[in-house]
Amino acid sequence: MLFTGNSFLKLGGEYLEVSGFHFTDGYTKDAPVIEFRENNQTLANNCRVTNFVIDNYSKPERFETDSWIVFWGKNNRLDHSNIGDKLNGGTTLIVNLDDERSRQNYHSIDSNFFAGRQRLGSNGGETIRVGVSRYSLTPSNTKIAYNYFEHVNGEVEIISIKSGNNHVYKNTFYECEGGVVLRHGSKNVIESNLFIGNNKPYTVGIRVINPGHKVFNNLLVECAGERFRSAFGVLNGVPNSLINRYYQVTDADIYNNSFINCNSLLFGAGKDAERTLAPKDVTFTKNFISTKGNKLFEDANKDGGITFANNTYKANGVTATKGFTATKTTEVTWNGLKVSVPADKTGADLSTLTRMTENNTGASWYKPAARKPSTPETFNVTAAQSKELRSIVAKAKDGDVIVLSPSDVPYELEKEISINKSLTIKVADGKKVEFVNVSEKSLPSFITIENGGNLTVSGIKFNGAYKSYGDVNAGIATSAKKPMNQHYGLVVNNCEFYNYNEGSQSGIKATKSTLADLVSVNNCLFRNISGTGIDFSAEKEDKGIYNVERIEVRNTAFSNILGTAIVVYRGGNDESTTGPSVLIDHCVFNEVNNMEQGSVVKLLGAQEATVTNSIFNRSGQGGRTIWFEENSWDKLKVDYTNFYNAGRVQSFYNKVLGKNIYKSDPGFVNPATYNFTLKSSSVLLNKSSKGKPLGI
């Protein structure tokens, strides 16, 4: 039975069973999609929801939070259902302990297919949460078993346990950027789960916090994450911890697990000035490790709080460690996975494990409709058709290409071009054309990316102020008027951005509540801008939210910019996300932001950032060339870079500068005409990381 619009289900009473519903093409306004209570007085007990599907049912605003499924009462079950990609904030499924009648509940969540969740770019993207910190000392006795999680990447916690006496077993996690996290509560059991990372970045396993847990018979294969995303992590605790922080790990038993070619096993994870309590009375026994490197694990404390005994490892050049012995192994293929099996009985017992897939989970009647590939169509547009460009883009399909004919006269636009599909706009023959606004009104941008948009653009000069017509606030921007709950992508090649004459204007700008998977800017020029060249700083609430997962700027020049050339902002110290990640390589910054306390490049909260092979010339003289505000775990590097008459590089820990930092006059051919090629006499001709010229 199909339900759309603002449809939802409430169950209240005893021994009810509901089957075969499909919620799609809508979203609920004020209620969960499925709630195991009719109201505060009537909860559900001994009820079952089975053979359900929820897909395409997200609220349009990315940070308008809700939950799709909420458990109350006792002995309820959700099984054999498909749960699709939730695009907005909020935990997908919650087991609630806020009501005394819902504690020690013995709920079952089993045999379901959790079919993806895109990165939220913020905390609050969990898929299952059992309890909350306030009631975390309460037993829940919830069972989570035989489920299949595929590409579930909302945040670091897929299953967030915040209560006691829960049992998580025989689930499969396939290429997920999150894992099972024992965040609060005690005496939980994590047993016989399968984690398949396939060496995908950030793929995770199990994280242990709080006392009394048992973790055994789990198989983790090629999980590539590190630190909080390690294949296996045991955290440090906080002395006199508040209930919502980190209790010390004590009396935990970790045994008979197999870790096959995983990047990191970390004991004492999160160790910092606050988390100083090392794990205590933790046993790590009869586990098997087959590692690609020469290190079996890392112990950040090395104080004896972890007892290692009777563990084995594959003898492949690894240095012997107390509590581990080398063992002979047999290479087997188990359920499509290549696994090293030790000769003794250490590690996981494959005969007791089950690989869950989309074929043995979910609703038996549901098969998602396969997308039919379409043949891309090419639309050729001339400058004389400028005013038709918007309608041509509107009727184009995913994957189509708009080819602009070279012209000595500009392409005259009166309204912004909206992109809500995957589209390429390029100029024929690798040449350039100019976009101008000929409306009396200001435009928010020449091109606006809306929900569903992915844009590749090349060969366009975006002129923000043309004659006496209205100005343009950005060359390319995301929508500020229409909600966006989907990620977008932006690739900009061989373009120019100039004449943005107000401090609020930018060449490229992201608006609030939008998130790009990747922004790539190559071979471009940003010049004569009073505002910002590239601006991804719309999220100012310091809640760990940001606008771009990864931004790459290569072979690009920024010149005569009053504001900041590149700004990426992520405020707060939330640890649940992976980004932003920033790469700046072979770029030139010439006469950029020389105001007092100004910054040329501002990367506040970037978790990974690399600035290499670049030149800062007469830039940031009143303040900083690069401004970092980092946490201790961030990976930051500035190297093979020249600073001439430039400001300082500022960071909190002062560890970002490499050994190849120069302070020479670059000797550009002709900066007045934006020719930043180096003269043959320049001392920077062979100073890059590959022995080639710095800069462009």
**Omega of the bond leading into 580 within 30 degrees of 0 (cis):** yes
The answer on pLDDT for 69 being more than 90 is: yes
**CA distances for 372 relative to 25, 331, 369, 473, angstroms:** 19, 40, 9, 38
Helix, strand or coil for residue 240? coil
Mean residue pLDDT across the chain: 95
The answer on pLDDT for 256 being more than 80 is: yes
Would you state the pLDDT for residue 89?
A: 94
* Mean pLDDT of the region 31-37: 97
The answer on pLDDT for 667 being more than 90 is: yes
* Mean pLDDT of the region 466-492: 95
Residues 564, 556: Cα–Cα separation, whole Å: 15
Residues 355, 173: Cα–Cα separation, whole Å: 9
pLDDT bin (cut points 50, 70, 90) of residue 269 is confident
Would you state the pLDDT for residue 165?
A: 98
Would you state the pLDDT for residue 435?
A: 98
Percent of the chain scoring above 70 in pLDDT = 100
* Mean pLDDT of the region 74-95: 97
Residues 446, 436: Cα–Cα separation, whole Å: 8
* Mean pLDDT of the region 670-688: 96
Percent of the chain scoring above 90 in pLDDT = 86
Q: Return the minimum-mean-pLDDT range out of 141-150, 249-258, 327-336.
A: 327-336
The answer on pLDDT for 547 being more than 90 is: yes
Would you state the pLDDT for residue 304?
A: 84
N-term to C-term CA, the chain:
60
The answer on pLDDT for 95 being more than 80 is: yes
Helix, strand or coil for residue 133? helix
Would you state the pLDDT for residue 369?
A: 79
For 11-145, strand residue ranges (E) read 13-14, 17-19, 22-26, 34-35, 44-45, 48-50, 53-54, 69-71, 77-79, 82-83, 93-95, 108-110, 113-117, 128-130, 143-145
The answer on pLDDT for 228 being more than 90 is: no
From the number of C-beta atoms within 10 Å of its C-beta (0-12, 13-18, 19+), residue 274 rates as middle
In 3D space, the residue among 409, 412, 377, 375 whose CA is nearest the CA of residue 392 turns out to be: 377
* Mean pLDDT of the region 456-481: 96
Rg of the chain, C-alpha, whole Å: 28
Cα angle at 428 between 425 and 434, to 5 degrees? Answer: 65
The answer on pLDDT for 321 being more than 90 is: no
Chain-centroid distance of CA 418 in Å reads: 25
Local structure of residue 395 (DSSP, 8 states): H
CB count in 10 Å sphere of residue 360 = 14
DSSP string, 424-457: EEEEGGG--EEEEE-SSS-BS-SEEE-TT-EEEE
Q: What is the dihedral of CA 73, 79, 84, 90, to 10 degrees?
A: 20
Give CATH for domain 2-352.
Answer: 2.160.20.10
Contact in structure between 189 and 166 (CB atoms under 8 Å): yes
pLDDT bin (cut points 50, 70, 90) of residue 226 is confident
- What element of type H or E holds 394? helix 389-395
Q: How is the chain split into domains, by residue range?
A: 2-352, 392-536, 566-579+587-696
Would you state the pLDDT for residue 80?
A: 98
The answer on pLDDT for 132 being more than 80 is: yes
The answer on pLDDT for 76 being more than 90 is: yes
- What element of type H or E holds 423? strand 422-427
Chain-centroid distance of CA 475 in Å reads: 26
Would you state the pLDDT for residue 300?
A: 86
The answer on pLDDT for 316 being more than 80 is: no
- Please write the tens of the pLDDT for every residue from 482-541: 999 999 999 999 999 999 999 999 999 999 999 999 999 999 999 999 999 999 999 988
- Please write the tens of the pLDDT for every residue from 343-352: 888 999 999 9
- Please write the tens of the pLDDT for every residue from 161-174: 999 999 999 999 99
- Please write the tens of the pLDDT for every residue from 440-453: 999 999 999 999 99
Which one-letter amino acid corresponds to residue 13? G
Would you state the pLDDT for residue 51?
A: 97
Would you state the pLDDT for residue 576?
A: 82
Would you state the pLDDT for residue 345?
A: 86
Contact in structure between 644 and 617 (CB atoms under 8 Å): yes
